[in-house]
Chains A and B, each alone.
Chain A
Amino acid sequence: GAVVSQHPSRVICKSGTSVKIECRSLDFQATTMFWYRQFPKKSLMLMATSNEGSKATYEQGVEKDKFLINHASLTLSTLTVTSAHPEDSSFYICSARFGPADEQFFGPGTRLTVL
């Protein structure tokens, strides 16, 4: 199966700082990647669709100036949480579609804690 990696797996930062999360497809090319967020005991919620070589598409209610997405290559998408606040503390997961069933393969997730 396809492998998606994320880095870092955990990050703790101070309020007001920016945090960059990387999502890589290791053995396939992904023109589209997805970023999800999951709060404790809640479902995954799609934040944005990352498109290689073009602007990301954000879901309603997600601030594009706060959550910066860059998909500069076919194997890498980055999510930058700018001026992070405690309410941004969450589990951030990326995914990419691959295969005949268009299955989504998930990265291992990044646990962000903003103090």
Chain B
Amino acid sequence: GQNIDQPTEMTATEGAIVQINCTYQTSGFNGLFWYQQHAGEAPTFLSYNVLDGLEEKGRFSSFLSRSKGYSYLLLKELQMKDSASYLCAASGYALNFGKGTSLLVTP
């Protein structure tokens, strides 16, 4: 079965750091994706973790623990344009998405 949980909403201040957590239970798991989605637009790729540990890419980092079924997306130096929905997706054959975390960045 597939079960992916992430917080529904988060608010953070411009310039701050925010961590979005995701827990998953999925059969045939072979990797964890994070996508960013602005309202009315298709998702865009942010990161992919297949091994345990932290992957850093500019202001965004993603962490995976396969044994705990846990991942997080870390956003540093938040900007107003980072206000969006962040989708955690577990990869089997297709992608199974969480419901997304709506992040609001305030001045």
Using a CB–CB cutoff of 8 Å, the interface residues on chain A facing chain B are 1, 34, 42-46, 49, 91, 93, 95, 101-109, 111
The chain B residues found within 8 Å of chain A, CB to CB, are 31, 33, 35, 40-45, 48, 50, 87, 91, 93-100
CB <8 Å contact, A44 and B43: yes
Contacts of B95 in A (CB 8 A): 34, 44, 46, 95, 104
A34-B94, A43-B87, A44-B87 known; A104-B42 Cβ under 8 A: no
Between B35, B50, B97, B99, the greatest number of chain A beta carbons within 10 A of the residue's beta carbon is seen for B97
Once bound together, how far apart are the Cα atoms of A44 and B33, in whole Å?
Answer: 14
List 29 contacting pairs A-B, 8 Å CB cutoff, sorted by A: A1-B45, A34-B94, A42-B99, A43-B87, A43-B100, A44-B43, A44-B87, A46-B94, A46-B95, A46-B96, A49-B94, A91-B40, A93-B42, A93-B43, A95-B95, A101-B48, A102-B91, A103-B33, A103-B45, A103-B48, A104-B33, A104-B45, A104-B95, A106-B42, A106-B43, A108-B41, A109-B41, A109-B42, A111-B40
